[in-house]
């Protein structure tokens, strides 16, 4: 450029215009059509999603992890039956209890167990693995947890404990040591309790206003598949109907059956009120209770057709227990009353106010030995199936299924919160004393040597 001349020469002007054009070209090349930031981000993420946020890079390539140990409601059908193949003594008492050391009071909401102890989660970012003798095995802490959030209940298999943060973190820890085996940050929030299915871990995550299921390999967290949006609301619960090989989900007032594998809906049934607890499966039948104080029997083989519905005096406090051979359903109501209904006809058989004031509001079913059938004049046809339930305050009771006759009352050191985990001839309960302190209570045959303080036993 001629520095002394103020007038811009034509060739400089052309050069300047060319430069301006180049600037404009580069501008649009780097941001075509000035697309929105969110689109840009989506495009960037879309380029390389697979390797996004799973660690470590060198994870196990294969492993036999077995089925879930002590699943919720004791089996995937969520029927509340413990060890159908075994019968037990009724002459039980609390033989030992161990305090769980906790720096701050654990607000337990999710409990899982393996053969060595409990894994506890709740309204804090801590996951605590504690042995049945009350020793802390290991603890894991997520970075943060909002005040209005809770960690999901852990899942435990032969070797791993899976823990979940609602923001979308899934972590597999060694059940023995608490070491991280893999840690995955999902791009979406986890909206319902994950579950194990065969060799896979199924994690429900948010997809707009619906849910999608992400299938992960249990041993290394690799993603196997993800579904499209499924019409399931956050907080849904899952159970498995083994007769029809269907997963049954209860979501708000809907019961939805999905085919495992591709997770396509088989049928959906809408009820009048929101459903309380799990859907219970027995053969091709599905039983649910609702917050509107109703109980339903659905026919899973017939697209969830309602076979019967019955009104309850109060809504159920928790899930239903199915008593085999007697073909009865048993549950606790929110007012502390225990009800038993005929699963075939949908009629109330008996109702008995057991004044349950414990934190735990779910019953379960176990078989007693022949001596108990004889002693308590139960029917041999019922194979010794009895109802076990938290009762009154700080107690667990055993009832006969016929008319609810009390067989045994087992006082505990505190309110039963979770359990039981039944290993060999011992039942392990998580109990809470009135001051909030947590204990692990061991219940066994009354002849078992008891190191428990006699004052505790005589409360």
Partner 1 sequence: MDFFKANLWEIKKSGSLRILGALLALFHVTQFYLWWDQGHLPLTFAQEDIPICWSMFESCEWLRAIPIGALTSVYYTYGSFMALAALVFLLTEFAGIGYFFLCFGTIAGLVVYFQDFRLSSNEGFFAFFATVAFLLVPAKHRLMRWLLASLFVASGLSLLSPAWLSGIWFVTHMAVPIKLGEWLAAVTVLVQMIGGVCLIFRDGRYFWAGWLSLFLLCISQLYTGELFLASMGVGWLLYIGFDEFELRKAEREYLYQSFIRPEPSFLWGGILLSSFWLAQVLMFLPYSPQSHLRSFLETWTVTPKVNHQECDQRTFARFKEHTEEIDVKPQLASSPQLSCNPYIFYLDLRGLCRKMKARDPNFATLMSSLLIRDIHTGKSYLAFESKDVCAPNLSFSDITEARWTTNLDM
Instruction: Using CB under 8 A, list all residues that contact partner 1.
Output: 1, 3-8, 16, 19-20, 23-24, 26-27, 30-31, 34-38, 40-41, 43-48, 51-53, 55-60, 63, 65, 136, 138-143, 159-160, 173-174, 176-183, 185, 219
CB 135 → partner 1: shortest distance, Å?
A: 10
CB 113 → partner 1: shortest distance, Å?
A: 19
Of 175 and 281, which CB lies nearer to partner 1 in the complex structure? 175
CB 60 → partner 1: shortest distance, Å?
A: 5
Of 30 and 434, which CB lies nearer to partner 1 in the complex structure? 30
d(CA 332, CA 388) in angstroms, rounded, equals 11
CB 4 → partner 1: shortest distance, Å?
A: 8
> Taking the mean position of all CA atoms in its chain, how far away is CA 100?
22
Nearest to 174 by CA among 212, 121, 138, 206: 138
Q: CB atoms < 10 A from the CB of 89, how many?
A: 15
Of 44 and 381, which CB lies nearer to partner 1 in the complex structure? 44
CB 129 → partner 1: shortest distance, Å?
A: 10
Which neighbouring-strand residues pair with 358?
Answer: none
Cβ neighbours for 314, distance < 8 A, ≥ 6 positions apart: 293, 333, 334, 335, 337
Of 83 and 177, which CB lies nearer to partner 1 in the complex structure? 177
CB 437 → partner 1: shortest distance, Å?
A: 19
For 370, what's the count of Cα atoms within 13 Å in the CB-facing half-sphere?
Answer: 0
Of 159 and 382, which CB lies nearer to partner 1 in the complex structure? 159
Of 84 and 178, which CB lies nearer to partner 1 in the complex structure? 178
Please state, in angstroms and as integers, the Cα–Cα distance from residue 99 to each residue in 107, 352, 431, following that order: 15, 33, 9
Please calculate the CA angle 107-112-116 and round it to the nearest 5 degrees: 115
Of 142 and 263, which CB lies nearer to partner 1 in the complex structure? 142
Q: CB atoms < 10 A from the CB of 343, how many?
A: 24
CB 162 → partner 1: shortest distance, Å?
A: 13
Cβ neighbours for 48, distance < 8 A, ≥ 6 positions apart: none
d(CA 296, CA 24) in angstroms, rounded, equals 68
Cβ neighbours for 457, distance < 8 A, ≥ 6 positions apart: 93, 94, 411, 450
């Amino acid at each position: 450029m001629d520095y002394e001349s103020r007038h811009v020469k034509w060739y400089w002007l052309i050069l300047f215009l060319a430069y301006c054009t180049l600037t404009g070209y580069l501008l649009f090349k780097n941001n075509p059509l000035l697309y929105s930031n969110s689109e840009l981000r989506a495009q960037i993420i879309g380029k390389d999603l697979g390797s996004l946020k799973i660690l470590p890079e060198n994870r196990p390539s294969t492993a036999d992890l077995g089925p879930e140990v002590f699943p919720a409601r004791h089996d995937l059908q969520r029927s509340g039956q413990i060890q159908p193949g075994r019968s037990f003594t009724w002459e039980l008492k609390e033989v030992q209890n161990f305090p769980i050391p906790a720096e701050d009071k654990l607000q337990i909401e999710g409990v899982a167990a393996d053969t060595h102890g409990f894994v506890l989660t709740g309204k804090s970012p801590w996951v605590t693995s504690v042995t049945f003798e009350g020793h802390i095995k290991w603890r894991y802490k997520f970075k943060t947890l909002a005040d209005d959030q809770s960690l999901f209940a852990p899942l435990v298999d032969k070797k791993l404990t899976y823990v979940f943060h609602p923001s979308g973190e899934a972590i597999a820890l060694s059940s023995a040591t608490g070491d991280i085996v893999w840690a995955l940050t999902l791009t979406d929030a986890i909206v319902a309790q994950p579950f194990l299915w065969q060799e896979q871990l199924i994690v429900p995550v948010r997809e707009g206003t619906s849910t999608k299921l992400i299938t992960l390999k249990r041993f290394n967290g690799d993603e196997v598949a993800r579904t499209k949006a499924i019409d399931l609301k956050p907080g849904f619960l899952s159970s498995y109907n083994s007769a029809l090989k269907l997963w049954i989900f209860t979501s708000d007032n809907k019961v939805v059956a999905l085919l495992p594998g591709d997770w396509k809906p088989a049928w959906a049934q809408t009820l009048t009120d929101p459903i309380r607890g799990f859907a219970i499966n027995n053969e091709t039948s599905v039983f649910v209770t609702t917050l509107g104080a109703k109980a339903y029997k659905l026919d899973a083989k017939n697209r969830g057709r309602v076979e019967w519905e019955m009104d309850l005096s109060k809504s159920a406090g928790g899930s239903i227990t199915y008593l085999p051979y007697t073909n009865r359903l048993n549950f606790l109501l929110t007012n502390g009353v225990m009800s038993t209904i005929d699963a075939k006809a949908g009629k109330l058989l008996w109702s008995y106010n057991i004044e349950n004031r414990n934190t735990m509001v779910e019953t379960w079913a176990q078989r007693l030995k022949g001596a108990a059938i004889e002693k308590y004049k139960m029917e041999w046809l019922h194979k010794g199936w009895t109802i076990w339930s938290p009762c009154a305050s700080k107690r667990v009771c055993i009832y006969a299924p016929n008319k609810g006759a009390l067989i045994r009352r087992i006082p505990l050191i505190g309110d039963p919160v979770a359990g039981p985990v039944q290993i060999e001839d011992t039942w392990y309960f998580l109990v809470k004393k009135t001051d909030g302190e947590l204990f692990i209570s061991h219940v066994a045959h009354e002849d078992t040597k008891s190191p428990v303080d006699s004052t505790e036993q005589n409360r």
